[in-house]
Amino acid sequence: MADIEIRRAHNLGMKAARAAAEKMAEHLGQKFGLRGAWEGNVLKFERPGVSGLLAITDKDLNLSVTLGFLLKAMKGSIDAAVHRELDELFAKAPATPAAKKAAPRPKKGG
């Protein structure tokens, strides 16, 4: 059973979502010593005391992390760090209203 389970929608599309996931994996890898590998659209990662996966689609992501006994005590801070990473890299793009076409201006004298 996962200790940290996060599901989140995004508006990045598949290519940008995968790039964001790779950035996240690189950053968390450097910070926590995680190593990962892609299997299709699922990034599986691990290190002693931590294992998990990040599954992405063009519209959402699902992160599941299992912590070893010693790291369970740090679950809160690990969860907060993961949420910060997701907020930064998978932030929803602001909704943009449909472009309005300007009505043609009437010609003078015509």
Q: In this structure, what DSSP letter does residue 27 have?
A: H
Residue 108 belongs to a domain = no
Q: Would residue 97 count as lying in a domain?
A: no
**Is the predicted pLDDT of residue 98 greater than 70, yes or no?**
no
pLDDT confidence of residue 4: 93
Q: What is the pLDDT of residues 14-38, one digit of tens each?
A: 999 999 988 888 887 887 788 889 9
Predicted model pTM:
0.75
CATH of the domain at 60: 3.30.310.80
Residue 106 lies in a domain: no
Q: Which of 4-8, 54-58, 83-87 has the lowest mean pLDDT?
A: 83-87
How many Cα atoms sit within 13 Å of 100 on the Cβ side? Answer: 4
| Number of independent structural domains in the chain | 1
pLDDT at 80 over 70: yes
For the cut 50, the answer to whether the pLDDT of residue 100 exceeds it is no
